[in-house]
């Protein structure tokens, strides 16, 4: 049974109707006292709680009731309802242990999705929260084919991925560069009921400031000067599937609020039109920044933070799971054997032992690159310590020497360095700017100057 506590009868009745049509039993209470009494007697599976009680709404009453419910029914999820203007209150509520929040006026489908998600997360937490599964057990339950490793931290993550993949809960993936954030995001999609829908990755660090809205929401031809033809936005592309917002920490403040709106309302406007489009997507975000700190320093909106991180996964750096290194190398070598038709390709034990001792600032990606480079340049098939060491410290001269005087102008040098950085960072403009010691604005000016299209 779901208990709806709200002093506004119209809200109570319409929420109850939506839930009833979806097959849920409900009860209603119009004030905190009645809510607590019904809860004591019937022990609801989930609470829906309006934060703005009475006319003089400060939200304190709602917050006090939330804390009391949390205290008396600690394992029952509570979903808050709040007006768009009082999202800070919902954020307070999330800190006090609410499972999720929706804003008024709500979107019925999204409301139901929120309820289903909260219920299934709390059920699965109760059922298997304490069970720690082995890699073999996880593989029997889910598809983690491309993810190698048996480290405890990684297994705990895979277990959570499996547990939440059946729901629509938004997931935030934290981890250093190259730790496998994108791989995990894909695993969430592949194991979800949306697996046959699209998986759309958006690199938020790579979208030029002025193009954010058109990129995300799409535009009609003529919506602005450069809009020469219609463009389908990323949210529309992700319809029915998963949208993966990579580098969410790079989002500028005015774009943060626009994103929050779509996440709240589940609808958006295509630029140049006045109609709103409903959006059905599952959200997965990734960052290698510490978003908590960014929230503390007011660089990242707290309400958006609570909107995206219902589930947080912290991917361990490779140096914290050295025992996975031989497994990963084995996996990469296995792929190389097939790709390059070198069936005898193998890595010696001394090499593996040494690889386990390195710090790996670039994590799994760095290990993969080193393995591939070593295999490619070594003619023998049994790769050993020396082969890896040679590739890990490239001989001086290859990288250090400048071209002869007169070979290039400074502008030509600058342009080719930018192109090289773009290629190296896969078009990620934040990383390109950082690696060249430029601000993003300065990088954009140079891209324009050299006519480099991105």
Does 180 participate in binding ligand ATP (rule CB under 6 A)?
yes
Quick note: the x/- pattern for ligand ATP over 262-291, rule CB under 6 A, is: --------------------------x---
149 makes contact, choosing from Mg ion, ligand ATP, none, with CB < 5 to 8 Å by partner type, with ligand ATP
Does 182 participate in binding Mg ion (rule CB under 5 A)?
yes
Does 179 participate in binding ligand ATP (rule CB under 6 A)?
yes
Number of residues that bind ligand ATP (CB under 6 A): 17
Separation CA 220–CA 231 (nearest Å)? 6
Which of 181, 189, 266, 282: binder of ligand ATP (CB under 6 A)?
181
Contact stretch for ligand ATP (CB under 6 A) within 67-75, 173-181, 299-307, 375-383: 173-181
- H helices, E strands: number in the chain: 20, 16
Does 241 participate in binding ligand ATP (rule CB under 6 A)?
no
Helix (H, G, I), strand (E, B) or coil at 50: strand
User: At its nearest, how many Å lie between ligand ATP and the CB of residue 109?
Assistant: 30
Q: Answer whether 97's CB lies under 8 Å from 71's CB.
A: no
Kindly tell me which of 182 and 252 has the beta carbon lying closer to Mg ion: 182
Question: CB neighbours of 354 closer than 8 A, spacing ≥ 6?
Answer: 385, 388, 389
Residues in the chain, overall count? 454
User: At its nearest, how many Å lie between ligand ATP and the CB of residue 300?
Assistant: 17
Closest residue to ligand ATP, judged by C-beta, is 180
Chain residues 315-374 in contact with ligand ATP, contact rule CB under 6 A: 328, 331, 364-365, 368
Kindly tell me which of 83 and 138 has the beta carbon lying closer to ligand ATP: 138
337 makes contact, choosing from ligand ATP, Mg ion, none, with CB < 5 to 8 Å by partner type, with none
Which of 183, 227, 236, 417: binder of ligand ATP (CB under 6 A)?
183
Contact stretch for Mg ion (CB under 5 A) within 174-182, 322-330, 375-383, 426-434: 174-182
**Cα distances (angstroms) measured from residue 104 to each of 8, 24, 83, 301, 303:** 12, 21, 5, 20, 15
CA atoms within 13 A on the CB side of 23: 1
Q: Spell out where 256-339 has E strands.
A: 267-269, 276-278, 282-287, 311-314
Separation CA 401–CA 15 (nearest Å)? 70
Which of 5, 78, 98, 147: binder of ligand ATP (CB under 6 A)?
147
Separation CA 35–CA 399 (nearest Å)? 70
Helix (H, G, I), strand (E, B) or coil at 341: coil
Which pairing describes strands 276-278 and 267-269: parallel, antiparallel, or unpaired?
A: antiparallel
CA 127 to chain centre: 25
Residue numbers at the binding site for ligand ATP (CB under 6 A): 147-149, 175, 177-183, 288, 328, 331, 364-365, 368
């Amino acid at each position: 049974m779901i208990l709806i506590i709200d002093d506004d009868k119209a809200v109570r009745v319409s929420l109850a109707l939506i839930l009833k049509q979806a097959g849920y039993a409900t009860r209603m209470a119009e004030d905190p006292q009645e809510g607590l009494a019904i809860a004591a007697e019937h022990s609801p599976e989930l609470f829906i709680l309006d934060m703005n009680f009475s006319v003089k709404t400060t939200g304190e009453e709602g917050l006090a009731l939330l804390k009391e419910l949390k205290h008396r029914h600690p394992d029952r999820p509570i979903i808050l309802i709040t007006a768009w203007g009082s999202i800070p209150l919902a954020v307070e509520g999330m800190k006090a242990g609410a499972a999720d929040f929706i804003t008024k006026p709500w979107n019925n489908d999204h409301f139901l999705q929120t309820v289903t998600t909260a219920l299934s997360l709390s059920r699965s937490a109760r059922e298997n929260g304490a069970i720690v599964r082995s890699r073999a057990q996880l593989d029997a339950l889910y598809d983690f084919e491309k993810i190698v490793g048996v480290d405890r931290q990684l297994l705990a993550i895979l277990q959570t991925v499996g547990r939440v993949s059946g729901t629509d809960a938004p997931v935030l993936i934290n981890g250093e560069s190259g730790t496998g954030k994108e791989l995990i995001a894909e695993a969430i999609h592949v194991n979800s009921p949306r697996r046959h829908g699209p998986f759309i990755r958006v690199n938020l660090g790579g979208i030029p400031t002025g193009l954010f809205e058109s990129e995300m929401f799409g535009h009609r031809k003529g919506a602005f000067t450069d809009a020469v033809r219609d463009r389908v936005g990323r949210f529309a592309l992700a319809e029915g599937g998963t949208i993966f917002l990579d580098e969410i920490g790079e989002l500028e403040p005015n774009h943060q609020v626009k994103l929050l709106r779509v996440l709240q309302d589940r609808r958006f406007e295509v630029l140049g039109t006045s109609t709103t489009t409903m959006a059905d997507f599952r959200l997965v975000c990734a960052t290698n920044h510490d978003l908590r700190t960014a929230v503390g320093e007011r660089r990242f909106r707290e309400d958006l933070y609570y909107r995206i991180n219902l589930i947080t996964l912290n991917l361990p750096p490779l140096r914290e799971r050295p025992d996975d290194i031989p497994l990963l190398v084995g996996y990469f070598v296995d792929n190389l054997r097939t790709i390059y038709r070198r069936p005898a390709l193998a890595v010696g034990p001394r090499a593996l032992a040494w690889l386990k001792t390195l710090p790996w600032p670039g994590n799994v990606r760095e290990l993969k690159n080193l393995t591939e480079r070593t295999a490619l340049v070594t003619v023998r098939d049994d790769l050993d310590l020396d082969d890896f060491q040679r590739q890990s410290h490239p001989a001086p001269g290859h990288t250090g020497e400048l071209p002869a005087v007169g070979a290039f102008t400074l502008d030509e040098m600058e342009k080719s360095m930018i192109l090289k950085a773009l290629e190296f960072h896969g078009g990620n403009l934040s990383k390109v700017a950082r690696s060249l010691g430029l601000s993003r604005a300065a990088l954009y000016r140079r891209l324009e100057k050299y006519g480099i299209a991105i």
